[in-house]
């Protein structure tokens, strides 16, 4: 069958009713390129092109190529088209990814002109990249002298990906995953670190990069994927004109080989760097099995179902065994099914174990699986797992990624392995088959035996902490660089200096930005897209209802005013909200409640939100929200469930509370190097207002330190555990008796019925004498370095500014993008080697913050923050720079969101006084900002004030902190 575009053949098409879209799969006749189009009634159009990338070592070639390909192309020969387009665009998403076996370049936009602009740049960047050697040196790796022009100074490695991966591999879960993959996949591409191992990245040559590009970045090896209301034919015409007509079909196929199978399980002992005192209890033990092909939908769904019934919640048998055992602090972060690669893998294990416990842990896991294989799983638990699969399939996401991109990524892995991506988006028939399969009581036991117990391709990995690894790595790098330096001829030394100078000249060069397409301020919507709710008030509460296209789901929230908690109780608020849905209620213990949640809902959770008023950051109000979602048919059951949790929550399950605290501690510690810049900014902002200090205490570095202490306190003291239980119960009673509102989001036809259900089923007493939450104003000067296990730094500075409604707030918001685009991106990322850096205005806390992310430098970055202010005030700036900063600001405001997500955002904005009038005024002020405004607020709030400074770094930097006169705090 030929499509309407002669260059393409239509292979298959299918309507997916559950997702309200139609899927088309095409093949380009000349090159064999795939095009998968998801036709949907959506103004937000999404594009992605993916290349199958199959590295054969850990040099990071695919990852470095992803970066370097975006540094200039044939049609757009500027040094930095990707980042230049981020500020000449109204995109709702724009990025690039390197996975273990594919590299993808996606973007999304609500503006048709903007979409076409980005499409032009992306197509040229991918298929006609310049790949300048200096860009390889900047993005990948290079040798430089510590003093760039002094060949007598030591040699050092530099490069953005090099430092990015140093940061990424500081994460224990990343080290676990890479080490496990090395043994689970002994012969295929997954054996290697596709992002690049910092020890191996310097081995990659420029010639190898070029060779990889020529063999992998070709239409014959490409999958084009699109979503939205632009037709497939319109896309294909552009693909043909701009790319495909210039290529012929490759005479070879890029693919991932099937993994060679083990004939018997293997057991491996390895180590990871850890420099804290409690190393004895920081071992990790993980078991993994290699299963069938991810391209086989039936096999994948069976494996997903099996993983779900074993590990989905605390009531499932394997998760319960891992959470309740004394052999470790909690389940490993690697528990579950990995379906992102060609072959599926099932993983489970424990973290926080003692050394020498691997045999016992293996016996626990195998014993639990054998018990399930012998006795089966209760039918209702299997049906609950299927219910979760259906709910996940139906839910319209889009609050972190555009919804269309989520769907594309769902199908991408199967497409790259030449499976049937259409089938993966339309799983209703396969779900129905599973419903028939599970009627056989032996179905799950049979799966356990076939996929796990009788599967010899099994790896047990034990990872023990080693306080000497970091110093060994550092000494090995120093020795390697010293050996390189000693072998250099005078000419080679000169070449290194000349490359350093040439790169700096290239980075300092002003490219002609007009080569690139752009949108202008005329293309910016003058007001936001707004929806009005229906509001009903009765004697018990106010009900706010939003009509939204939720595809058969209902969302509801019960929002209680945060009462004035005591000074001792307030720090436990995050533990309270995290643990509430993990405990029992009424006569049900936590296991029964977990089963109930899984059977009728998509999960319930609680969270707190505390913000200053728009006029005064010190005048705060706070709320605690109980949130739930379910399929429409389960709404009454959802109301019953939430009523039970809110009215009858049990905090007497002290053993369970101890487990949860240990799990939360591990999760928070493991997240430091992934969000270090956010944590550093929060710590620096903590001195500016009481609310910022509270945020630092509840969710920042101080909270990580506090949860570590709490975990240690209750681990060995039943008395302190009982005290904690009592406090949590008291906090709950204060919250549920405070005045509340209700939010309901569903399709229009169901709003009345669901509103009536809420009135009938939800009844909680209200204490009209509740004292509203307040904070006493506080400010302090902060100069700190927080120490952890990290190969890179995170630097932050914060200056006190103004509250949200102040006339200068909008200019400060624009100033963040202006400084990042015009100065910080170049000096912190390109020249300094950090993975990222920038500035932003935090209007909620009245603070302007600078930050760097995965940064090899420290002092120099702080100096760059200062120099950016000088640059702002001393330079004569191009109006184009201002327009780009405003466009970027509006793009971040008009970001992608799901229908339900938008309704929830608007409700909570109104709740905290950020109404439509305020939001429109802020938008108008942003659009009216001038360069003079930026320089005025820069002078007033930055140049004339002393900032707070916070750095997160490694334990080895203790002396450096003292030399900088920073207070040293061990996380």
Q: Which residues are catalytic?
A: 66
Per the CB < 8 A criterion, the answer to whether 951 and 786 are in contact is yes
User: What string of DSSP letters covers 751-803?
Assistant: HHHHHHHHHHH------TTPPBP---------EEEEEES-SSBEEEEEEE---
Helix, strand, or coil here: 332? coil
Q: Which tokens belong to 758?
A: 């809420």
Q: Give the whole-angstrom CA distance, residue 501 versus residue 503.
A: 5
Q: In 3D, which of 259, 344, 334, 260 has the Cα closest to residue 302?
A: 344
Sheet holding 948-954, edge to edge: 836-842, 847-853, 794-800, 948-954, 783-788, 967-970
Q: In 3D, which of 694, 870, 670, 683 has the Cα closest to residue 795?
A: 683
User: What string of DSSP letters covers 137-165?
Assistant: HHHT-EEEESSTT-TTSPEEEE-HHHHHH
Using the CB atoms, write b or e for 835-854: b if 16+ within 10 Å.
bbbbbbbbbbbbbbbbbbbb
Place of tokens 């590009």: 213
Per the CB < 8 A criterion, the answer to whether 951 and 785 are in contact is yes
Name the DSSP letter for residue 877: P
Q: Give the whole-angstrom CA distance, residue 424 versus residue 713.
A: 48
Q: Give the whole-angstrom CA distance, residue 28 versus residue 36.
A: 11
Per the CB < 8 A criterion, the answer to whether 348 and 322 are in contact is yes
Judging by beta carbons within 10 Å of its beta carbon (0-12, 13-18, 19+), is residue 530 exposed, middle or buried? exposed
Q: Give the whole-angstrom CA distance, residue 421 versus residue 225.
A: 11
Q: Give the whole-angstrom CA distance, residue 628 versus residue 641.
A: 9
Q: Are strands 8-16 and 21-28 parallel, antiparallel or unpaired?
A: antiparallel
The whole-angstrom distance between residue 276's C-alpha and the CA centroid of its chain comes to 27
Per the CB < 8 A criterion, the answer to whether 222 and 239 are in contact is no
Cβ-defined contacts of 521-524 (< 8 Å, 24+): 521/883, 521/886, 521/887, 521/927, 523/90, 523/111, 523/113, 523/114, 524/90, 524/886, 524/887, 524/890, 524/927
Helix axes 809-819, 879-893, angle to 10 degrees: 110
Q: Give the whole-angstrom CA distance, residue 509 versus residue 496.
A: 20
For the chain, the farthest-separated pair of C-alpha atoms sits apart, in whole angstroms, at 86
Per the CB < 8 A criterion, the answer to whether 818 and 886 are in contact is no
Question: Who's near 915: CB < 8 A, 6+ residues apart?
Answer: 909
Q: What are phi and psi of 518, to 5 degrees?
A: -160, 160
Per the CB < 8 A criterion, the answer to whether 314 and 331 are in contact is no
Helix, strand, or coil here: 37? strand
Q: In 3D, which of 458, 18, 34, 481 has the Cα closest to residue 265?
A: 458
Q: In 3D, which of 873, 884, 876 has the Cα closest to residue 934?
A: 873
């Amino acid at each position: 069958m030929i499509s309407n575009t002669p260059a393409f053949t239509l292979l298959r098409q299918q309507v997916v009713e559950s997702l309200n879209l139609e899927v088309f799969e095409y093949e380009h006749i000349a090159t064999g390129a795939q095009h998968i189009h998801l036709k949907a009634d959506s103004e937000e159009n999404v594009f992605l092109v993916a290349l199958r990338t199959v590295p054969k070592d850990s040099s990071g070639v695919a990852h470095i190529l992803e970066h370097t390909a975006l540094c200039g192309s044939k049609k757009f020969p500027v040094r930095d088209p990707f980042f230049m387009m981020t500020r000449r665009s109204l995109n709702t998403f724009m990025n690039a990814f390197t996975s273990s076996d594919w590299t993808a370049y996606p973007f999304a936009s609500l503006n048709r002109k903007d979409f076409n602009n980005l499409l032009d740049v992306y197509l040229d960047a991918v298929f006609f990249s310049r790949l300048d050697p200096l860009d390889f040196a900047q993005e990948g790796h290079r040798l430089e002298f510590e003093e760039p022009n002094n060949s007598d100074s030591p040699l050092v490695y530099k490069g953005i990906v090099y430092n990015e991966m140093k940061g990424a591999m500081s994460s224990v879960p990343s080290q676990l995953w890479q080490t496990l993959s090395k043994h689970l996949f002994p012969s295929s591409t997954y054996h290697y670190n596709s992002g690049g191992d910092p020890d191996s990245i310097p081995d990659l040559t420029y010639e190898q990069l070029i060779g990889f590009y020529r063999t992998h970045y070709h239409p014959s090896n490409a999958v084009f994927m699109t979503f939205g209301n632009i037709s497939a034919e319109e896309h294909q015409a552009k693909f043909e004109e701009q790319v495909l007509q210039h290529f012929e079909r490759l005479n070879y196929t890029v693919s991932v080989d099937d993994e060679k199978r083990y004939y018997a399980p293997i057991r491996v002992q390895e180590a990871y760097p850890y420099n804290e005192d409690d190393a004895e209890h920081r071992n990790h033990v993980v078991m993994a099995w290699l299963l069938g092909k991810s391209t086989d939908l039936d096999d994948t769904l069976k494996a997903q179902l099996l993983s779900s019934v074993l590990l989905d919640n605390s009531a499932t048998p394997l998760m319960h065994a891992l959470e309740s055992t004394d052999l470790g602090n909690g389940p490993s972060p690697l528990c579950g099914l990995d379906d992102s690669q060609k072959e599926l893998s099932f993983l489970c294990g424990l973290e926080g174990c003692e050394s020498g416990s691997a045999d016992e842990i293996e016996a626990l896991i195998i014993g639990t699986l054998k018990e399930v294989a012998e006795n089966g799983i209760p039918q209702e638990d299997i049906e609950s797992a299927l219910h979760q699969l259906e709910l996940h399939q139906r839910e319209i996401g889009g609050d972190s990624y555009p919804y269309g991109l989520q769907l594309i990524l769902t199908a991408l892995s199967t497409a790259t392995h030449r499976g049937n991506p259409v089938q993966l988006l339309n799983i209703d028939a396969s779900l129905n088959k599973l419903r028939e399969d599970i009627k056989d009581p032996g179905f799950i036991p049979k799966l356990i035996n076939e996929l796990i117990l009788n599967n010899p391709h099994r790896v047990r990995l034990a990872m023990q902490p080693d306080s000497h690894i970091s110093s060994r790595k550092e000494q090995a790098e120093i020795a390697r660089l010293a050996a390189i330096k000693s072998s250099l001829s005078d000419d080679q030394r000169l070449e290194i200096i000349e490359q350093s100078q040439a790169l700096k000249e290239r980075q300092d060069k002003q490219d002609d930005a007009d080569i690139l397409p752009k949108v202008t301020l005329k293309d910016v919507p003058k007001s936001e897209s707004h929806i009005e709710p229906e509001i009903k008030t009765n004697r018990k509460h106010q009900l706010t209802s939003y009509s939204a296209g939720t595809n058969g789901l209902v969302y509801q929230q019960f929002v209680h005013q945060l009462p004035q908690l005591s000074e001792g109780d307030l720090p436990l608020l995050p533990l309270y909200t995290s643990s509430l849905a993990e405990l029992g209620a009424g006569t049900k213990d936590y296991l029964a409640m977990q089963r109930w949640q899984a059977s009728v809902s998509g999960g319930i959770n609680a969270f707190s939100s505390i913000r200053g008023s728009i006029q005064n950051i010190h005048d705060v109000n706070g709320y605690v929200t109980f949130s739930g979602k379910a399929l429409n048919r389960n709404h009454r059951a959802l109301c019953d469930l939430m009523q039970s949790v809110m009215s009858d929550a049990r905090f007497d399950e002290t053993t369970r509370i101890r487990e949860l605290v240990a799990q939360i501690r591990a999760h928070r510690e493991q997240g430091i190097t992934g969000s270090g810049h956010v944590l550093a900014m929060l710590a620096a902002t903590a001195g500016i207002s009481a609310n910022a200090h509270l945020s630092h205490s509840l969710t920042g570095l101080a909270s990580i330190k506090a949860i570590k202490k709490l975990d240690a306190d209750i681990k060995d003291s039943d008395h302190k555990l009982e005290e904690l239980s009592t406090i949590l119960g008291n906090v709950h009673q204060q919250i549920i008796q405070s005045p509340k509102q209700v939010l309901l989001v569903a399709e229009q036809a169901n709003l009345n019925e669901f509103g009536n259900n809420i009135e009938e089923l939800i009844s909680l007493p209200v204490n009209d004498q509740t004292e509203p939450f307040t904070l006493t104003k506080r400010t302090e000067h902060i100069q700190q370095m927080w120490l952890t296990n990290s190969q890179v730094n995170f630097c932050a500075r914060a200056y006190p500014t103004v509250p949200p409604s102040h006339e200068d707030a909008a200019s400060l918001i624009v100033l963040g993008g202006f400084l990042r685009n015009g100065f910080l991106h170049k000096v912190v990322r390109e020249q300094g080697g950090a993975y990222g850096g920038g500035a932003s205005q935090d209007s909620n806390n009245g603070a302007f913050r600078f930050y760097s992310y995965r940064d090899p430098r420290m002092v120099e970055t702080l100096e760059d923050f200062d120099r950016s202010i000088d640059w702002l005030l001393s330079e004569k700036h191009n109006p184009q720079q201002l327009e780009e900063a405003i466009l970027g600001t509006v793009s971040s405001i008009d970001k992608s969101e799901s229908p339900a997500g938008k309704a929830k955002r608007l409700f909570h904005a109104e709740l905290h006084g950020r109404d439509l009038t305020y939001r429109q005024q802020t938008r108008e002020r942003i659009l009216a900002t001038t360069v003079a405004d930026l320089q005025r607020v820069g002078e007033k709030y930055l140049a004339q004030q002393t900032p707070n400074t916070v750095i997160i770094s490694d334990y080895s930097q203790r002396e450096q902190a003292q030399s900088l006169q920073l207070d040293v705090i061990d996380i």
